[in-house]
């Protein structure tokens, strides 16, 4: 697992990692000087934008290659096949990056909540490395799937591997991590995630059940043994899991409510939301949390 993590972490060229040396992750602060500079810089200078013919709610989307630059550095952001970036998403990433000060982000939420899809998008636009805890565990088990691990070793064994993965990831910077749906039930996992910023993707159970029913339950070991109508089975089991874990999700530093986003954007259903719109809200909620944290940590006399 250590080798897989080390091989896949690539720090973006614009971040000077020396500024993090010797600083405990839980006590990083965003200086007033940098905050003031951010306020006066304003909009991002977007260069070499390749217009796309597609439009989303009147906002221009950009193609899969975007050159994003500021006064100090520039980097190429590759959207790949995840989702095209739009200018609002790039702007939100630009705004939140100084507040993060290199801290990692951990996405938590129920199975099927979109942690991997949204997490990949957030990592790409930030220039962070992305990790999926389930994938790391499968790699550490020589390609054994999560479902097979549950079947042959049990859930307790899997949760131990999950904690091992989070422990290793928590010692690193500039990551976006997609956690398993049950990672929140172990207090030790919060100890590791709290070294960064945790983000809860809050999706209605009905929407989760529809998503899971559409793709099947083969990869969902906590659902696969049930029989009956796919949606009904998924919703019933998800409701039970929610009763067990729902309160634990509220420990996250930031909450991204898909229902709230849909209302704000005038959508009738959360299924109409794009990963970009969810990622934008995630950045907004993270920035709001970090601004409040900064206000509490820095006394007025130090400004």
Residue ranges covered by each domain of the chain: 84-203+253-287
Helix axes 87-100, 32-41, angle to 10 degrees: 170
At 73, is the pLDDT very low, low, confident or very high (cuts 50, 70, 90)? very low
At 155, is the pLDDT very low, low, confident or very high (cuts 50, 70, 90)? very high
Instruction: Give a three-class secondary structure readout of the chain.
Output: CHHHHHHHCCCCCCCCHHHHCCCCHHHCCCCHHHHHHHHHHCCCEEECCCEEEEEECCEEEECCEEEEECCCCEEEEECCCCCCCEHHHHHHHHHHHHHHCCCCEEEECCCCCCHHHHHHHHHHHHCCEEEEHHHHHHHHCCCCCHHHHHHHHCHHHHHHHHHHHHHHHCCCCCEEEECCCCHHHCHHHHHHHCCCEEEEEECCHHHHHHHHHHHCCCCCCCCCCCCCCHHHHHHHHHHHHHHHHHHHHCCCCEEEEHHHHHHHHCCCCHHHCCHHHHHHHHHHHHHHHHHHHHHHHCCHHHC
pLDDT exceeds 70 at position 38: no
Mean pLDDT of 229-251: 93
pLDDT exceeds 50 at position 134: yes
pLDDT exceeds 90 at position 123: yes
288: left (phi > 0), else alpha (psi -120 to 50), else beta?
A: alpha
pLDDT at res. 11: 46
Mean pLDDT of 12-35: 39
pLDDT at res. 64: 33
Determine the distance from the C-alpha atom of residue 17 to the mean position of all C-alpha atoms in its chain, rounded to a whole number.
21
Which fold is adopted by the domain 84-203+253-287?
Rossmann fold (3.40.50)
pLDDT at res. 178: 98
pLDDT at res. 6: 66
């Amino acid at each position: 697992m250590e080798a897989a993590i080390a091989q896949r972490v690539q720090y973006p060229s614009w971040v000077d990692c020396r500024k993090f040396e010797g600083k405990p992750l839980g006590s990083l602060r965003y200086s007033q000087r940098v905050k003031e500079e951010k306020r006066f810089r304003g909009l991002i200078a977007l260069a070499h934008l390749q217009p796309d013919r597609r439009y989303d709610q009147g906002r221009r989307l950009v193609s899969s290659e975007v050159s994003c630059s500021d006064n100090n550095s520039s980097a190429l952001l590759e959207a790949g096949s995840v989702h095209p970036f739009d200018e609002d998403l790039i702007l939100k990433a630009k705004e939140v990056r100084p507040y993060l000060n290199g801290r990692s982000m951990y996405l938590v939420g129920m199975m099927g909540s979109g942690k991997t899809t949204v997490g990949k998008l957030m990592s790409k636009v930030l220039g962070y490395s992305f990790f999926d805890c389930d994938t790391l565990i499968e790699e550490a088990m020589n390609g054994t799937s999560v479902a097979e691990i549950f079947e042959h070793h049990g859930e307790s064994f899997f949760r131990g591997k999950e904690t091992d993965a989070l422990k290793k990831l928590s010692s690193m910077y500039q990551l976006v991590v997609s956690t398993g749906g049950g990672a929140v039930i172990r207090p030790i996992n919060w100890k590791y995630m709290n070294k960064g910023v945790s983000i809860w993707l809050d999706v209605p159970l009905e929407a989760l059940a529809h998503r899971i029913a559409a793709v099947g339950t083969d990869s969902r070991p906590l659902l696969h043994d049930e029989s009956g109508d796919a949606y009904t089975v998924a919703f019933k089991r998800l409701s039970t899991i929610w009763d067990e874990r729902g309160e634990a999700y509220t420990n996250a530093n930031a909450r991204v409510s898909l229902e709230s986003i849909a209302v704000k954007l005038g959508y009738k259903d959360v299924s109409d939301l794009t990963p970009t719109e969810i990622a934008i809200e995630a950045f907004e909620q993270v920035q709001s949390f970090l601004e409040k944290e900064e206000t509490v940590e820095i006394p007025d006399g130090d400004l």
